[in-house]
Structure 1
């Protein structure tokens, strides 16, 4: 009965999230439903306060600065004019003839530099409109182009990416955002190459059949959003790129240069329960994002129209994503406390003797169910992270390889139709699932799964590199 309770609550969570109900209320309600159906109704309130809220607050405490600084940095990039400067520079270099590649690379550069994928979608969409209209490429391919550049290789594969997905495994595996860099680059090449091949084939076929951009009366003026936010003082390209370089460079400096040579004896004396190897990766990312934010403010100190408004908007913007994910973590903790989860856990762990395959199945399944790579990854690591680390240690698989496979797997099945990011992207582009979802799925699910298979194969044969 407990297994049935878990499955019913998971299916309802997935369905109701697809219908647009926020997981802030869904997660505790579906957790309560699972508890009631499993026969533990008498423990409902203690489970809520001691399990759900404890897991939720622990996640918030651990990742709040990453969400906050990431949202703030993205807003500063958008309102300073840096994002539009970079996007227009790529457009000028590649032109409308390579409209799809231009959109993909513009999104990739911004997201790899730490700009929120939602900010990127809003910033790039007007540019994509103009490019696709000029090249007469069907508008229905814009969402897939944005998704390929924002939701795939820069989120899960490229070493050093500051995406929250790449930070979540750090405290569980004692790794950092540069884990398994060689395998990450290989995965990124497969995702980018496979996604671009698909989009080129699909756009060429559509245009050969006489389909053009089409008439879309609901489109906004594509020129308005591309103007510099400061009212006509565009940001120089070198200055626009500098914050992105700092996010990766400062992160690498502290990860490989500063922290490894530091003596943490005094720190551990003050905080006896602290293991520096499990938190220095987060510390490096916090420092990098802080430096990049401060640099952006100083670079445009004379050009901000409303710096206070930008800061407030960025800071307020982090709360919903953080608490959405934290609520899903709380839900996962409740599910993990039920008797039926032991059977499910053992089944997942025994999918394969190779912990990389078992881990990939667990992360991908939970990311698909929740419609969130960060949510699924958090739930899976919260409940199974220690098991996978122990299994990997027994057969000599490095934590860095576990880290990269976990992130790639979570990012391979998170974009099912009920995914909030997909629904938001389609809304921004003023399109629907019927028009664009098939191509989104090809570039955000099929290509990433292929990359995941290659990484697991190479990792099993040669280890982490």
Structure 2
């Protein structure tokens, strides 16, 4: 019982102190050490060097290309003006009469194409503010509208998305970015529809208050916000305020790299890699692994590299400071991956404790005979406690991934279904008030939690949670498709 209490205290401190701005690079190993010392369950130094660092290093080894290339790609899309062009084009096409839909779709197109959600928020917010003011829609709905397009269905549900939340389950379950495509699309439609229904309902209900008296001054992040938001996927130190390109690209040039990300990902996943001779992966030199373990990472890496080169080629004259853009994007990838890796190391140490067996058995038993339910609960709760979708998912899979895979095989459940449930489950409680993306988005919009969080939570937490129930129900009844 004492061991379980220590683990709960460690997780609670992780949540509270991370919210207070303590670096996860210090916090995660310190709390892991605390758990080992308090339970007197194992050698302290060995737990740190062999378990914590081993697991954290393994995560970095596996996912560093995705973090690095995704950050550089997003930075080039921003610096070339492509992100702003896409937002302008979609919003102009739909007009102020469909302001909410226009903002959601502009965010969705860019994030599904691999652009960082922070880049999207910076690119879309000024246009959204002007559009909402013109349509006299309350400004307090802007964060929820951006969150629906950037933080939800394109991040977790749509098959093929290069988001890290869709990449992390692949090595654990031997799946690809396109796992359970039919279920993913249905879940995305449910998520999108529920979110839009709520936002349109609120726009009608709050119509008398209008846009409100807001100056909409340019957002400049302070030091505390930069540090807090960095752990959630992008380093704000690298974003504003920078020189814009002299000329903006035409729409087809702006959209082509996003199309390439998905198309190349699809091509490598189902055509090129399956036709490659990969028997060499069984050799000790290559880790004695199989193509199922690395196929997904290879596909996403290839898609991002080629699409990144396309951005450079198409916008060569619009990127006079190309080296600086690439350097800024590369530097911005380091803190997010090390933060997430530290959470993985923390989870590995917790899983090594004897008391964790009791917690594992209790969590696995939550869903009765259906492992999809307990998997969804475990991922959701851990994402909420860590304030990070990728962090919560990583802890859950590193500690319980093998258990759920064995249960799935025993009950005839497809690993692809496990993948999609895991990804979608990260997009619920991760949107609690202490989440870095939530804090950053509200700051960009110049609003407080009190003003805008309720609607943001309804669109980016409640709607995904209800969609997760639909996904589990369909997956249980019909299997993966």
Shorter-normalised TM range: over 0.9
Deviation at 1:283, TM superposition (A): 0.3
Match of 1:133 in 2: 133
**TM superposition score normalised by structure 1:** 0.96
Match of 1:344 in 2: 359
Change beyond 3 A, Cα 1:228–1:245: farther
How many Å separate the matches in 1 of 2:259 and 2:336?
25
Residue by residue, what CA displacement relative to the aligned partner does 1:313-372 show, whole Å, maximum 9, x if unpaired? 111111111111111111111111111111000001111210111111111111111111
Which residues of structure 1 form unaligned runs of 5+? Answer: none
Deviation at 1:228, TM superposition (A): 8.9
How many Å separate the matches in 2 of 1:228 and 1:238?
23
1:30 pairs with 2:31: yes
Deviation at 1:22, TM superposition (A): 2.4
Residue by residue, what CA displacement relative to the aligned partner does 1:156-212 show, whole Å, maximum 9, x if unpaired? 0001000000000110000000000000001101110000100111111111xx212
How many Å separate the matches in 2 of 1:24 and 1:341?
23
Deviation at 1:221, TM superposition (A): 8.9
Tell which deviates more after alignment, 421-430 or 103-112. 421-430
How many residue pairs are counted as aligned between the two chains?
459
1:361 pairs with 2:362: no
How many Å separate the matches in 2 of 1:159 and 1:456?
16
Deviation at 1:27, TM superposition (A): 1.1
Match of 1:124 in 2: 124
Change beyond 3 A, Cα 1:221–1:10: closer
1:92-241 equivalent positions in 2, closer than 5 A: 92-207=92-207, 210-217=208-215, 219-220=217-218, 229-231=244-246, 233-241=247-255
Deviation at 1:218, TM superposition (A): 5.8
Which residues of structure 2 form unaligned runs of 5+? Answer: 221-239
Deviation at 1:220, TM superposition (A): 2.3
How many Å separate the matches in 1 of 2:434 and 2:183?
30
1:287 pairs with 2:302: yes
1:259 pairs with 2:260: no
How many Å separate the matches in 2 of 1:82 and 1:392?
43
Residue by residue, what CA displacement relative to the aligned partner does 1:95-142 show, whole Å, maximum 9, x if unpaired? 112111111111000000000111111111111111111111111111
Q: Secondary structure at the match of 1:363?
A: helix
Deviation at 1:293, TM superposition (A): 0.4
1:449 pairs with 2:450: no
Residue by residue, what CA displacement relative to the aligned partner does 1:269-295 show, whole Å, maximum 9, x if unpaired? 453612111101110110000000001
**TM superposition score normalised by structure 2:** 0.93
Q: 1:393 aligns with which of 391, 394, 409?
A: 409
Q: Secondary structure at the match of 2:355?
A: helix
Q: Secondary structure at the match of 1:318?
A: helix
Q: Secondary structure at the match of 2:418?
A: helix
Deviation at 1:303, TM superposition (A): 2.3
Match of 1:414 in 2: 430
Match of 2:47 in 1: 47
Change beyond 3 A, Cα 1:370–1:226: closer
The CA RMSD measured in Å over matched residues stands at 1.7
Q: Spell out structure 1 runs of 4+ moving beyond 4 A.
A: 225-228
Residue by residue, what CA displacement relative to the aligned partner does 1:215-265 show, whole Å, maximum 9, x if unpaired? 22362299xx9999212x120111111100110000100100111122222
CA contact (8 A) 1:84 1:226 kept: no
Deviation at 1:51, TM superposition (A): 1.1
CA contact (8 A) 1:228 1:234 kept: no
